[in-house]
Amino acid sequence: MAEKYLDCLGEACPVPLVKTQNAIKDMAVGDVLVVGIDHTCAMKNVPDWARGQGYNVEIEEVGDGEWEVVIEKTC
């Protein structure tokens, strides 16, 4: 049950989603990835994609227009 942070602050689409996909590929089932995002589009398309894959997703607004997307690789 490892937790990993991925810093995507200041990055525009499609970089956050591409990096998230790459990171998830290398993770084991049960691991958690926390993606730091301040791109308003990425805070929609990263969770969209992860939910579509069947993972558990939580979004927390940690600052003004800054989010942490917590993705648990469940399958």
Partner 1 sequence: MEEKQIQPTLYETLFKKEWSYYTGAVLIVIFALALSMFGSTWGVSGALGTWGSMFLGLFGIDTAAAFGNDTSKYNFFANQASLTDIGLLLGALIACLLAAQWKIRNIKHYKQALAAIIGGLLMGIGAKMAGGCNIGGLFSQLPQFSLAAWLFLLFVFLGATVGGKLLKFFMPPVSNKRPNRKRLSAEQKARNKKIQITAAVVIILVLLVVAFAVAPTYPAAPLMMVIGVGLGYSMQRSRFCFTAAYRDPMLTGETKLTRAVIVAFALSTILFFGKHAAAFGTDLSKLTADNMPGNVINLQMIIGSFIFGIGAVLAGGCASGTFVRMGEGYVQLWICFPFFCLGNAVAGGITKATAGTWFTAGSKVYLPQVFGGLVPALLIQLAALLALWVLASWWESKKRASF
Q: Tokens standing for 54?
A: 């069947």
Is 72 near partner 1 (CB under 8 A)? Answer: yes
Strand order across the 32-37 sheet:
3-7, 32-37, 66-72, 56-63
Q: DSSP class of residue 43? A: H
- 13 in active site: yes
Is 31 near partner 1 (CB under 8 A)? Answer: no
**Residues within the interface to partner 1 (CB under 8 A):** 4-7, 9-15, 17-19, 21-23, 25, 32, 34, 36, 38-41, 43-45, 48-49, 52-53, 56-58, 61-66, 70, 72
